[in-house]
Each structure stands twice: as C-alpha cells, then as structure tokens.
Amino acid sequence: MTGLRLLLRKEIREQARTMRLLAVVAVFAFLGLLSPVFARYVREIVEAVGGGQFGGLIPEPTAGDAVAQFTKNIGQFGVLIAILVAMGSVAAEKERGTAAFLLSKPIGRGAFVTAKIVAIGTLLAAALGMGGVLCWIYTTILFEPLPALGFAGAVALMWLSLAAFAAVTFLASVVTRSALAAGGIGFGVFVATGILSALPTIGPFMPTSLWGAADAMALGGVPDGLAGPVLASLALILAALGLAWWSFRRQEL
Amino acid sequence: MSAAAESAGLAIEARGLTKRYGDVLALDALDLAVPTGSVFGFLGPNGAGKTTTLRLLTGLGRPTAGTAVVAGIEVGRGGTDLARRIGYLDQDPRFYGWMSGRELLTFVGRAYGLAGATLRSRVDEVLETVGLADAAQRRVGGYSGGMRQRLGVGQAVLPRPAVLFLDEPVSALDPEGRRDTLELIGRLRGASTVLMSTHILTDVERICDRVAILDHGRLVAEARMGDLLARNARPILEMDPEPGQDLAVASLAAALRAAAWTRDVRAEHGILRVVVTDAELAAAEALPLVVATGVRLARFERVRPTLEDVFLQLVGADAAGAPGSTEPAP
C-alpha cells in the first residue's frame, strides 16, 4: 500500500496537534476515574442530597458496581465519542478538499482508508486503555483488587463494541460527503442496535451485548456465549471496512 | 496508445474524453494533444469544463467515455504511477491547517520518495522560489489566500514532475505574486510540460506556447498562440472619443453595429473596439460614420487583435464577463 507509513505518521501527528488525542483520552480517563468513585460514594451522595431518607435504600456498593458503572459510561459516552471520531474522518477530508490534494500524490486509496482505520482504532484503544487503567486502579483502591487479565479482556471487549460503531460510522463517512450525515447514520445505527438488542433471537449478537460480557469478565468470570457477539462484531467491522474500501476506490474526488 | 503518444512527442493525449454528470454534459468528446515541454494554456468561460478536464487527466475523476494518456501512462490504470509523474494545483487549494508550510512541503516530498538532505534542500529551494521562506514555520491555517496559492504552486512543482497541471494558478495572487509565479511557470518550459487553466488571458499570451479554448464542454480551438491569432483574429478598429459625448458615442456605436462590415462593437474603458469582417469596406465607411454622428475622436487606429478578442469571438458574448476587462457597448 503506497504511502501507508507516511499517512499513518500524518494521522497520529494530526491527532496530537489538533488536540483530538488529548481530548478523547481525557474524556475516557475521566470516565475511568469517575466510575469507581461514583459507585463508591453514591450512597453518601444520595444521603447528602436526600437528607438521609434514601441512603438505606441503596445497597452497600461493590467492585461489581464500579465495573458496571464504567461499562455503562463507555456504552453511552464512549460510543458517542467513537461516532464523533469516525464521522469526519473521510467525509471532512472530502468536504475540505484535502482528500483530492492527498490523492493527487503517489498515495494509494487503500493506504488512505487503512491509515484512517488504524488511526481511529489506535485512538480508541489508547483512550480506552487509559480509562481502563484508571478504573482498575481506583476500583482496587476503593473496593478490592480486580483480576488484571480479566479486566484487560473486558476492556478489549469494550474496544470491540466501540470499534463496531466506529466502523459503521466510518463507512457512512466514506459513502457520504458530509460529516454530519455520517454522524447521524452512526447514531441511528447505535439507537437501532439498542432496540434490536431487546430481541431474543438477534439481541445476543449485537455489539451492545459485549458490555454485559465485559462486566462478567472484569470480575474474573467467564461469560456464556461470548463467541456469538465477538464474531458478529468482528464480521460487522470487517464488512463495514471492506465496503468502505470498495466504495472509496470508486469515488471521484 | 501510451507508446504512440510518447513517440509522437506528446505529454498529454486525450481522445474522446467525455464526462457526464446526470443530464449535464460537462465535457464532450475532448481530443487534446499537448506537446512535451510546452506551456499550454487552457481557456474557457466559467463552466466550460476546464476543471473537469484537469480532474480527469489527474485521475481524480473518471471519464464517462474516452481515454487519456499522461506522461506515457494511461489515466485510470497503473495505480499511483501516474501521480508519481505529475504535479497538481487545485483551483482552490486546501491543505492541512495544522501543518506549517515547511511540514507540508516535506510531507509532499516524502510522498514522492524524497528523503534526507535532498528533501531538505529541495524544500528550502521551493520555499524560496514561491516566496514563503519567511512564513515556512507558520501554520498553513493562518495563511492568506495568496499564500495558500503560492504554497499550492510550491507543492505542485516540488517533485519536478514531468507534467504539471495548474488550475487557475494565479487567481488569488497580488500583482507581484502573479509576476513571480508566471516567471516560475515560464522557466519550467522544456523541463516539464505545463497545462494551465486560467481566466486571465494576458497571462496566457505572456507565457503559453499553445492554447486550447473550451466552451460548453467542447474544444472550439487549439493551436500555437501565433497561429490562433492569425487564423481567427479579425481586424479591429479602436476609436477613442473625447470625453463628454455620451449621447453621440451611443449613436456612433449603434450606427457601427448596424453596418454590414462589423461583427461586434464593444466599449472598453470608454474606447470603442469594433471587430470588422471586411477591412476594405470598414476603411471606406468607418470615418464617414464618425463624422455623421458628430463624435470628436482623440484617436482612430487599426490595432492588432489580442487573445481576448479571439476568445470572445470563439466563445461568444456569453463569456464577455469572464476575461475581466470587457464591458458591453453603450
């Protein structure tokens, strides 16, 4: 792929220089830090706000609550950030005209698409990794030590679910000429996935079902039926990226 | 086809190049032959199909029909081989605003395989040539339109391409920048083949060897500059009325327009330019018309037709606003 290394370096430098890297990592770090702290002190917060009336209704918090809080936050804010990161990746370059500038140089279209995908995946991995490490440290401090390997596996499952939504949004970014439209499609798929996950037949294969599995894995358990959503998410990612590559090769700039 | 084009000394050869956007025919079976080493002017009013042609020839667009060979490579085949041999400046060049001018040129140089000291010295040389040495460390996002255009010219010439495509290369430049850029393009003659689209006809007259004129997607003329003027230009009479005779000048313009030997009568900065179809009749009848309408002239002269006259003649009155300086007769 002609120019892949050059483009990868450019993508990473662009993320750093435009503060995108810092912003995304900061948000995930905040979620990783906040989740165990919120889980630990939710009783105190409710008691303080409700004047001691409701504190007894909330059970003693556990490490499982901290993990569930983190998974829930990633499943909401994390997905929205993944969509935001992917929506402009190609559409904005086409809108601005920088894609035409780049591709009039000896740079392959495959390299262009691949560099974008790798950059998005790496950014999400770095940010989620940072958030995961902070969540693990604070959960260990505030509750009990969590199994490191299981927690790492849980973070990997969360990354897979984010990557699935990012991949669909990326495909929309390639197909459309508008970052906003791509974001809208990505968000629409996110909402539709949430609805479909309630269906017993296909629900277990949705990327959203990875979050429940991540919860169990982070606490050292082995989730049942993990292969289905993992393989389905991988298939969705590969299909979206393959379609994006196929579409971009045929586009006029 | 590529070998044939090269053996014929052609850097660009297009045959039946056609582009259709839905119902709109943007380019209609264009045949074009650009000799190697020439500076080729590509003219046409807005929407004539110039940018479409450049995008097809650079591989950024796909033709509906037809083929093209650029620098010996068939466009649309051979992956990045074509891009290795061309430089391209878009009519509205857009770059990464977070890069500095030097970083952008270094990035482009690396894309063409330059590295190390060769790359650094070439980037320095280009920055100096396009007048951006002092702004080399500034972010491109803070550049003015003219600076961006200079940078665009710089990134296009940096790899010393065999064929250089320039879409309106001086449209955003101040007079000094225009002069410098045109000189730079002129110096490329022989080393590179330059295909330059522009609206500024005097620039074309100044540096181009050959000219093609496009109108509504069709090629209406293509020739060496001198041949084009000789073949298409009709005699022109210029009449410079004394000031303060608006009504009389309007009557003269109407009378001239009604004469059988005129093709076009236009007013440019108060001077009447009369395109003549029959020089002998005009010589006999023009001055009597002036006398009859009572217009006092400061000057009456038969002048050499310019490229603008040929352009207007070939593409018609619709394009009158495009070249810039022409206004309708009173």
Model confidence pLDDT, tens digit, residues B169-219: 988 888 888 888 898 898 888 889 999 998 788 888 889 999 999 999 999
Q: Residue B69: helix, strand or coil by DSSP?
A: strand
Please indicate, yes or no, whether residues B241 and B115 belong to a single structural domain of this protein: no
A144 confidence band (pLDDT: 50, 70, 90): very high
pLDDT score at B171: 84
Beta-carbon neighbour count of residue B324 at 10 Å? 10
Please indicate, yes or no, whether residues B44 and B137 belong to a single structural domain of this protein: yes
Task: Output the average pLDDT for chain B.
Answer: 88
In chain A, which residues have their Cβ closer than 8 Å to the Cβ of B108? 105
Q: Would you say residue A116 has pLDDT above 60?
A: yes
Describe the crossing of helices A209-218 and A148-175 by its angle, rounded to 10 degrees.
160
Domains of chain A, by residue range, sit at: 4-249
The structure tokens 């041999």 sit at B85
Beta-carbon neighbour count of residue B47 at 10 Å? 17
Query: Domain for residue B311, yes or no?
Result: no
Contact B295, B236 (CB under 8 A): no
**Alpha carbon of B103 to those of A112, B56, B148: distances in Å?**
19, 28, 14
- Per-residue pLDDT of B176-188, as tens digits, reads 888 888 988 988 8
B315 confidence band (pLDDT: 50, 70, 90): confident
Interface test with A, best of B86, B110, B155, B163 (most A CBs within 10 A): B110
Q: Would you say residue B328 has pLDDT above 80?
A: no
- Per-residue pLDDT of B19-44, as tens digits, reads 999 999 999 999 999 999 999 999 98
Query: Domain for residue B314, yes or no?
Result: no
Q: Would you say residue A124 has pLDDT above 90?
A: yes
Please indicate, yes or no, whether residues B108 and B193 belong to a single structural domain of this protein: yes
Choosing from B188, B208, B228, the residue where a domain stops is B228
Q: Would you say residue B327 has pLDDT above 60?
A: no
In chain A, which residues have their Cβ closer than 8 Å to the Cβ of B98? 14, 17-18
pLDDT score at B7: 56
- Per-residue pLDDT of A198-245, as tens digits, reads 898 898 899 999 999 999 999 988 888 899 999 999 999 999 999 999
Contact A214, A71 (CB under 8 A): yes
Total domain count, chain B? 2
Give the percent of chain A with pLDDT over 70: 97
pLDDT score at B174: 87
CATH code (residue B261): 3.30.70.100
Q: Would you say residue B329 has pLDDT above 60?
A: no
Query: Domain for residue B323, yes or no?
Result: no
Please indicate, yes or no, whether residues B173 and B266 belong to a single structural domain of this protein: no
Please indicate, yes or no, whether residues B154 and B32 belong to a single structural domain of this protein: yes
Write out the DSSP string of B215-281.
ETTEEEEEEEHHHHHHHHPPPEEEEEEPSS-HHHHHHHHHHHHHSTTEEEEEEETTEEEEEES-HHH
The residues facing B17 across adjacent strands are B30
A46 confidence band (pLDDT: 50, 70, 90): confident
Q: Tell me the whole-structure pTM to 2 decimals.
A: 0.83
Contact A116, A89 (CB under 8 A): yes
In chain A, which residues have their Cβ closer than 8 Å to the Cβ of B88? 104
Higher pLDDT, B282 or B194: B194
A 147-186 → B contacts, CB under 8 A: none
Q: How far is B10 from chain A (nearest CA, A)?
A: 21
**A129 contact partners, CB below 8 Å, separation of at least 6:** A155
Residue of A nearest to B55 (CA): A253
Higher pLDDT, A16 or B268: A16
Give the percent of chain B with pLDDT over 70: 92
Cross-chain residue pair A105–B61, CB shorter than 8 Å:
no
Please indicate, yes or no, whether residues B120 and B198 belong to a single structural domain of this protein: yes
Give the mean pLDDT of B50-66.
Answer: 94
Q: How far is B131 from chain A (nearest CA, A)?
A: 21
Give the mean pLDDT of B75-100.
Answer: 91
Query: Domain for residue B245, yes or no?
Result: yes
Cross-chain residue pair B112–A18, CB shorter than 8 Å:
no
Highest-pLDDT range among A129-138, B252-261, B276-285: A129-138
Q: Residue A158: helix, strand or coil by DSSP?
A: helix
pLDDT score at B321: 42
pLDDT score at B5: 57
Q: Would you say residue B144 has pLDDT above 80?
A: yes
Please indicate, yes or no, whether residues B122 and B201 belong to a single structural domain of this protein: yes
Q: How many CB pairs under 8 A join A and B?
A: 59
Q: At CB < 8 A and 24+ separation, what contacts does B171-179 make?
A: B171/B91, B171/B198, B171/B199, B171/B200, B172/B145, B172/B146, B172/B148, B173/B146, B173/B149, B174/B146, B177/B131, B177/B146, B177/B149, B177/B150, B178/B203
Interface test with B, best of A15, A104, A248 (most B CBs within 10 A): A104
The residues facing B27 across adjacent strands are B19
Cross-chain residue pair B96–A98, CB shorter than 8 Å:
yes
Q: Would you say residue A54 has pLDDT above 80?
A: no
pLDDT score at B213: 92
Choosing from B228, B257, B276, the residue where a domain stops is B228
Please indicate, yes or no, whether residues B149 and B292 belong to a single structural domain of this protein: no
Please indicate, yes or no, whether residues B223 and B294 belong to a single structural domain of this protein: no
Please indicate, yes or no, whether residues B190 and B252 belong to a single structural domain of this protein: no
A 112-151 → B contacts, CB under 8 A: none
Task: Output the average pLDDT for chain A.
Answer: 93
pLDDT score at A182: 96
Choosing from B189, B205, B228, the residue where a domain stops is B228
In chain B, which residues have their Cβ closer than 8 Å to the Cβ of A14? 96, 98
Query: Domain for residue B184, yes or no?
Result: yes
Joined tokens for residue B158: 């940096």
In chain A, which residues have their Cβ closer than 8 Å to the Cβ of B119? none
Query: Domain for residue B327, yes or no?
Result: no
Residue-range definition of the domain harbouring residue B267: 234-303
Q: What are phi and psi of B25, to 5 degrees?
A: -90, 100
Q: Out of A14, A103, A105, whose CB is closest to B96?
A: A14
Query: Domain for residue B76, yes or no?
Result: yes
Q: How far is A3 from chain B (nearest CA, A)?
A: 6
Higher pLDDT, A58 or A27: A27
